Amino acid sequence: MAILLLCISLTFIISSVVMILASLLAKKTIMDREKNSPFECGFDPKGTARLPFSLRFFLIAVIFLIFDVEITLLLPLATIIHLSNITAWAFTGFFFIMILLLGLYHEWNQGALEWAD
């Protein structure tokens, strides 16, 4: 047990020393205009890269991603119809689709699908 503790301590000390030495000896450069600007094929950018981002668009994209992943989880139901009990298959499919529809109704009811206010 003491040997294990010694190995862990030694590993921690060596890695800490290496990280501290690397940060002290690293070549520090002053941030200049070229490094702070976005790269557009070697040309100066026409506008700022820090444009305001629409939070509504992000929310619609996340909702689409969630429903898209759930649809891909629903697709294998068609391939296993002949391998499983038809009652269990129908119940599983109905339950999964009901969860999707309830989620869609909730998002619609909360107004998350409205693009413009």
Summarised one tens digit per residue, pLDDT across range 6-50 is 999 999 999 999 999 888 887 665 666 666 666 666 666 666 666
**DSSP string computed for 43-67:** BPPSS-S-----HHHHHHHHHHHHH
Burial 57-68 (b: 16+ CB within 10 A, else e): eeebeeeeeeee
Predicted model pTM: 0.48
| Model pLDDT for residues 33-43, shown as the tens digit of each residue | 666 666 666 66
Q: Where are the domains of the chain?
A: 55-110
Please state, in angstroms and rounded to a whole number, the distance separating the CA atoms of residues 81 and 84.
Answer: 6
Please state, in angstroms and rounded to a whole number, the distance separating the CA atoms of residues 61 and 100.
Answer: 16
Tokens standing for residue 41: 């094929």
